[in-house]
Structure 1
Amino acid sequence: MLPADPMPLPLDHLVLRGADEAAALVLRDRVLTYAELREGVARLAAWLAERAAPGERIASWAAKGELTSLLPLAAARAGLIHVPINPLLKRAQAAHILADSGATLLLATSTRLASLGRDDLPQVCVTFAEDDVISQSRQLAQGLPPSHRDPESLAALLYTSGSTGKPKGVMLSHANLWLGAVSVAQYLGLREDDVTLAVLPFSFDYGQNQLLSTWYAGGSVVPLDYLTPRDVSKACARHGVTTLAGVPPLWVQLLESEWLQDAVAPIRRLTNSGGALTTGLVRALRSTFPQAALYPMYGLTEAFRSTYLDPALVDRYPTAIGTAIPFAEVLVIDEDGRLSAPQVEGELVHCGPLVAKGYWRDRERTAERFRPAPDASKYGGTAVWSGDRVIRDDAGLLHFVGRRDEMIKSSGHRISPQEVEAAALATGLVLEAVALGVADERTGQTIHLVVRPPVEGAIGDTANLRKALTAELPGFMQPHAIHWRDALPRNANGKLDRAGIAADVNR
């Protein structure tokens, strides 16, 4: 049983917890014990400290491996702010994150570095290939000792899409990440003999927490970038995986693959976030993994994880999002700023020490989302007003109703419609564009792009539009369908009528 530990420490202290000889990180070519992990973090921190000053942003753009696993702790020890870039993103999205964060270092694979143009890097940004960083850090005479950083100082910027504009950097402190690791390790009951298969990107808070919560508990992490669902089941069998995290579209894919007993037997717990589970999906997971505890969860990057559903309640309440996780306070607030009564819909508001520090260099959007906590909050201070609509039932469980904004959520990704629209407009092949999310059983939502050609009466050039979008947007942002219209409806203010366009697409 893990101790209650509400006092956060500098993030790099997480690596101090495991037994020296225990396996901490299982890589393709070798296994790092906790002693070796501590040494690797210390040397990588020293390497970083020689090239960047405290408070500077250092970005990483690489698949899962030794560098991306160690960087969250090594950067924190060196007093730097880590900016992980999703390896699925392409040049334009990476360039935006580098410019917006003001990164002074970019550590990436050689292929990704070669994809960047001269104008894609900030003038002060120096690049290093992933393999060179690892080899050079190993050659250092000694590493940095554990830090004494202020837990309230920034440790990471995690870029997340909103309903409008380009991705914005959520500012996370050492305390945010430390307490998130402690909280998840506690309510999942993680132990020293647990093995976590890390299939989610480390650029997501959910994905990065796979590392941090497991290491807090003294367990082992197996990073995996999979190509097929079969890769996941084979890894579970090979490594005796006990903890598997996923999002609904991934579960759909995994359940369509064959699961042999040697892959299923070791699994103790399944965790889900990034979208609500359906009743059918819950039943299928319970059937395929009958001995595993299923933890449905809800959260958003601005407040980390917010709720989880006790596995004992899953069969009875398969679509509930549960109750607040440790260190989180979750309130349902009505239009007058008061607590909503049971069975009355309200806005989900997140309070407490897991709330992020706002958006990086964006006071306007920070003020919109991060506002004073409701009077009913025991924590007070700043809260995250999510825009999500929920109902609390008579048993105290929360049930998700819907979002107030227009963000598209597909395959666990939060996608800004405006970003897809901007890419379409930039091709010159369309005059107007509206991106919408349409409900889909496999992915949660698929992207439908409704466009008007630049010349009235012209035939839309779908092939070249798709080709241009493929060059500029990552795969998960590609439209599932493109709809050409001679005219797009407008509302009384002259703006595009998104609701009317959505109704037309959904007919």
Structure 2
Amino acid sequence: MQGPDPTPFPIDHLAGRGAPDTPALVLKDRTLTFADLEREIAALAGALKAAVPEPGARVASWAAKGWLTCLLPLAAPRAGLVHVPINPLLKRAQVAHILADSGASLLVGTASRLKTLETGDVPAGCVILEEGGDWGAHDPLGPSRGDPDALAAILYTSGSTGRPKGVMLSHANMALGAASVAHYLGMAADDVTLGVLPLAFDYGQNQLFSTWYGGGCVVPLDYLFARDVTKACARHGVTTLAGVPPLWWQLVEAEWPADATRAMRRLTNSGGALTVGLVDRLRACFPDAKLFPMYGLTEAFRSTFLDPELVGSHPTSMGRAIAFAEIMVVHEDGSECAPGEEGELVHAGPLVAQGYWQDAARTAERFRPAPTSSIYGGTAVWSGDRVVRDEEGLLHFVGRRDAMIKSAGNRISPQEVEDAALATGLAVEAVALGVRDEKLGQAVELVVRGNSANDTALKKALAAALPNFMQPRTIHWLESLPTNPNGKIDRTALARELGA
């Protein structure tokens, strides 16, 4: 199969990818065709330029999924501005940090959210507009002709390791990411994507971009319960569903009538590894859909995917590099690891972001010169993730370097402990953490979701599967595991609760 076009382009050109009279966006009250999408993005871009005339100024949005949050990612860059999407689940203190850090000149949000802001939360000179307010009449702006390497968006991480930091993305980063994902997923004009992930999340934003690149339609959905997702899939004939593991567990435990799965062609996963048990459940729920396990990081958007044909034989693999990504596994000195050797995953190529907004120190830590073996060269993202490439060239996640548990002189991968717990079938989800211990340095604590009546059986199974130094000191049984605003398991919250 011929690869996607490697030519970068301004991100707002996605509005012109589909046939003019075909649906592009299904909102609660109306459906926009691609012609409508282009016309309304042009109008919004003109209004934004009139409100914020300074090129490169930051425009923040804080609202649920809808017209504003779906169009701003294209309209703001078209106006020469930088979009700063804020997850609608964040609270005022986190929002205040993002507004101050980005130096936002404009904040557009839902009235109920804006009312929670207090004096000092909004930077001086930042204009506040309510979603749905009157923008006034302004000249529309046609497709931009700017530099694809210009800054187009700042996406703030969830802040799981401290205050959120802003990742700077260019037009080219996002446009080529859309082209790459649309290519390997095989997105087409008759596809319908249900947008359940937050649009302030790079994976969630790509729900829009990759679908529109392929000329398809997006149905954004803010859901409360799994049944909201199943109903929407049936109502709209959804063909594509993206999720993270905690969401998938909610969905596979729900009832899926035939009309909700009949049109489904593909499921895509990122934000955490799939387990063998979850893969089996997804295949049972969606027998005709292809399953695409993927690995990514906001600093380089997406790095790898596993061919659905290999999911059965390699269910826990991260797969291979996507188009426009060069993935290396290297030693501490930057030399390439041999197959079977553990090393750090390093990502080079045009999907690599431009660094962290106004944070030279943290940028220098993560964005460094590519290893000498790199084909692309230039700046690479040194992920901090430990992986192994097998003899077939498939990548396998070991754990994060900064998450490794150090107990009695041993380096323990949380992933290995978690995998062992899940392999027993006695736990549905599992998180292993290192908790401070006076004698050991750190002790292994295991948090699981499942039936606490299985406690003795799980301890026995782990005793048989893991060496003594990897045995959990305590197993904590919860009815549900906390998640962060992007839907991923919140390890930081669990660590805080356990005193790690």
Task: Identify the residue that residue 103 of structure 1 maps to in structure 2.
Answer: 104
Give the secondary structure class of the aligned counterpart of 2:295: strand
Give the secondary structure class of the aligned counterpart of 1:275: coil
Shift of the alpha carbon at 1:287?
Answer: 1.2
AA aligned opposite 1:373 = A
Distance in 2 (CA, whole Å) between partners of 1:2 and 1:39 is 32
Task: Identify the residue that residue 344 of structure 2 maps to in structure 1.
Answer: 347
Task: Identify the residue that residue 185 of structure 1 maps to in structure 2.
Answer: 182
Aligned Cα RMSD in Å? 2.4
Asked if the contact 2:270/2:296 (under 8 Å) is kept, the reply is yes
Distance in 2 (CA, whole Å) between partners of 1:74 and 1:84 is 13
Give the secondary structure class of the aligned counterpart of 1:122: coil
Give the secondary structure class of the aligned counterpart of 1:331: strand
Give the secondary structure class of the aligned counterpart of 1:379: coil
Asked if the contact 1:163/1:406 (under 8 Å) is kept, the reply is no
Change (3 A) 1:18 1:5: same
Percent of residue pairs identical: 64
Distance in 1 (CA, whole Å) between partners of 2:340 and 2:353 is 29
Paired residues for 1:124-143 under 5 Å: 124-132=125-133, 135-136=134-135, 140=137, 142-143=139-140
Deviation digits for residues 318-368 of structure 1 (CA, Å, limit 9, x no counterpart) = 000000000000000012211100011000000000000000000000000
AA aligned opposite 1:61 = W
Asked if the contact 1:2/1:186 (under 8 Å) is kept, the reply is no
Asked if the contact 1:9/1:174 (under 8 Å) is kept, the reply is yes
Asked if the contact 1:163/1:405 (under 8 Å) is kept, the reply is no
Shift of the alpha carbon at 1:54?
Answer: 1.1
Distance in 2 (CA, whole Å) between partners of 1:483 and 1:402 is 21
Distance in 1 (CA, whole Å) between partners of 2:259 and 2:2 is 28
AA aligned opposite 1:299 = G
Paired residues for 1:10-159 under 5 Å: 10-52=10-52, 53-132=54-133, 135-136=134-135, 140=137, 142-159=139-156
Change (3 A) 1:101 1:385: same
1:212 aligns with one of 209, 212, 215:
209
**Quick check: 1:374 aligned with 2:371?**
yes
AA aligned opposite 2:87 = N
Give the secondary structure class of the aligned counterpart of 1:390: strand
Moved more, 1-10 or 186-195: 1-10
Distance in 1 (CA, whole Å) between partners of 2:36 and 2:195 is 20
Distance in 1 (CA, whole Å) between partners of 2:245 and 2:284 is 16
AA aligned opposite 1:114 = K
Task: Identify the residue that residue 310 of structure 2 maps to in structure 1.
Answer: 313
Change (3 A) 1:327 1:162: same
Task: Identify the residue that residue 329 of structure 1 maps to in structure 2.
Answer: 326
Moved more, 34-43 or 140-149: 140-149
Give the secondary structure class of the aligned counterpart of 1:119: coil
Deviation digits for residues 79-113 of structure 1 (CA, Å, limit 9, x no counterpart) = 10000001010000000000000000000000111
Change (3 A) 1:439 1:387: farther
Shift of the alpha carbon at 1:165?
Answer: 3.0
**Quick check: 1:228 aligned with 2:225?**
yes
Asked if the contact 1:272/1:295 (under 8 Å) is kept, the reply is yes
AA aligned opposite 1:14 = L
1:160 aligns with one of 157, 162, 170:
157
Distance in 2 (CA, whole Å) between partners of 1:17 and 1:355 is 24
Shift of the alpha carbon at 1:440?
Answer: 3.7
Asked if the contact 1:296/1:309 (under 8 Å) is kept, the reply is yes
Shift of the alpha carbon at 1:115?
Answer: 0.4
Asked if the contact 2:43/2:141 (under 8 Å) is kept, the reply is yes
Distance in 2 (CA, whole Å) between partners of 1:195 and 1:166 is 35
Distance in 1 (CA, whole Å) between partners of 2:157 and 2:302 is 15
Deviation digits for residues 196-226 of structure 1 (CA, Å, limit 9, x no counterpart) = 0000000000000000110111100000000
Distance in 2 (CA, whole Å) between partners of 1:474 and 1:348 is 23
**Quick check: 1:176 aligned with 2:173?**
yes
Shift of the alpha carbon at 1:131?
Answer: 1.1
Distance in 1 (CA, whole Å) between partners of 2:23 and 2:250 is 29
**Quick check: 1:247 aligned with 2:251?**
no
Distance in 2 (CA, whole Å) between partners of 1:228 and 1:165 is 29
Give the secondary structure class of the aligned counterpart of 1:148: coil
Asked if the contact 2:192/2:240 (under 8 Å) is kept, the reply is yes
AA aligned opposite 2:105 = T
Distance in 1 (CA, whole Å) between partners of 2:158 and 2:328 is 24
Distance in 1 (CA, whole Å) between partners of 2:17 and 2:8 is 14
Give the secondary structure class of the aligned counterpart of 1:144: coil
AA aligned opposite 2:41 = V
Change (3 A) 1:184 1:148: same
2:389 aligns with one of 385, 388, 392:
392
Asked if the contact 1:322/1:398 (under 8 Å) is kept, the reply is yes
Distance in 1 (CA, whole Å) between partners of 2:72 and 2:156 is 16
Shift of the alpha carbon at 1:124?
Answer: 1.7
Task: Identify the residue that residue 421 of structure 1 maps to in structure 2.
Answer: none
Change (3 A) 1:375 1:285: same
Give the secondary structure class of the aligned counterpart of 1:48: helix
In structure 2, list runs of 5 or more residues that go unmatched: 405-413, 416-432, 434-441, 451-481
Distance in 2 (CA, whole Å) between partners of 1:437 and 1:221 is 41
TM superposition score normalised by structure 1: 0.81
Deviation digits for residues 420-472 of structure 1 (CA, Å, limit 9, x no counterpart) = xxxxxxxxxxxxxx9x9954458xxxxxxxxxxxxxxxxxxxxxxxxxxx9xx
AA aligned opposite 1:67 = L
Asked if the contact 2:4/2:323 (under 8 Å) is kept, the reply is no
1:365 aligns with one of 362, 365, 381:
362
Asked if the contact 1:230/1:257 (under 8 Å) is kept, the reply is yes
Distance in 2 (CA, whole Å) between partners of 1:479 and 1:378 is 40
In structure 1, list runs of 5 or more residues that go unmatched: 410-416, 418-433, 443-469, 485-500, 503-507
Give the secondary structure class of the aligned counterpart of 2:303: strand
Give the secondary structure class of the aligned counterpart of 2:98: helix
2:254 aligns with one of 254, 257, 275:
257
Change (3 A) 1:437 1:173: farther
Deviation digits for residues 158-216 of structure 1 (CA, Å, limit 9, x no counterpart) = 00146643110000000000000000000000000000000000000000000011011
Task: Identify the residue that residue 9 of structure 1 maps to in structure 2.
Answer: 9
Distance in 2 (CA, whole Å) between partners of 1:160 and 1:152 is 21
Change (3 A) 1:397 1:441: farther
Task: Identify the residue that residue 453 of structure 2 maps to in structure 1.
Answer: none
Distance in 2 (CA, whole Å) between partners of 1:73 and 1:192 is 20
Asked if the contact 1:2/1:189 (under 8 Å) is kept, the reply is no
Distance in 2 (CA, whole Å) between partners of 1:319 and 1:479 is 26
Asked if the contact 1:2/1:217 (under 8 Å) is kept, the reply is no
Shift of the alpha carbon at 1:474?
Answer: 11
Paired positions, count: 429
